[in-house]
Amino acid sequence: MNDEPSELAQTEPETTSDDTVIGRASLTVKRSGAETSDVFWINPPAVIGRFDPAVGPIDVDLGPLPEGAYVSRKHAKITEEDGVWTLSDLGSSNGTFLLREDFERIESVELTDGDEFALGNARFVFRLAPSG
């Protein structure tokens, strides 16, 4: 598989002109058991999927990734409320899974720093951005 970063992945969070970090968490793509350089910075709420003009824009477009073919157009959503981060499946065809002892299919689950999850066969590690 190609481990080159996709065109849309960012290795550093975006900042505003006064250096305020825009991305509050990141999703790092994992392949063959190892984290890759494909990192998507997110600011909740964030819809994850594949862009399709018929469906409209999304926040995290996984279409350019090799695994993107197994991700629904609007696959999952990450939200944050009062410091609690949540991953919710949006009725995807290939499911959303959280790794605990094994991958478990979920409808909605609380995320913590370092959690690993899969959208179809695309695997990610969720990380909170350092504050400050």
Average pLDDT over residues 46-71: 93
Q: Give pLDDT, residue 2.
A: 45
The architecture CATH gives domain 25-128 = Sandwich (2.60)
**Whole-model pTM?**
0.82
pLDDT band at 43 (very low <50, low <70, confident <90, very high): very high
DSSP string across the chain:
---SPPTT--SS--B-TT--B---EEEEEEETTEEEEEEEEE-SSEEEE--BTTTB--SEE-TTSGGGGGS-TEEEEEEEETTEEEEEE-S-SS-EEEESSSEEE-SEEEE-TT-EEEETTEEEEEEEPPP-
Domain ranges of the chain: 25-128
Percent share of the chain, pLDDT over 70: 82
Q: Give pLDDT, residue 130.
A: 83
Average pLDDT over residues 91-95: 95
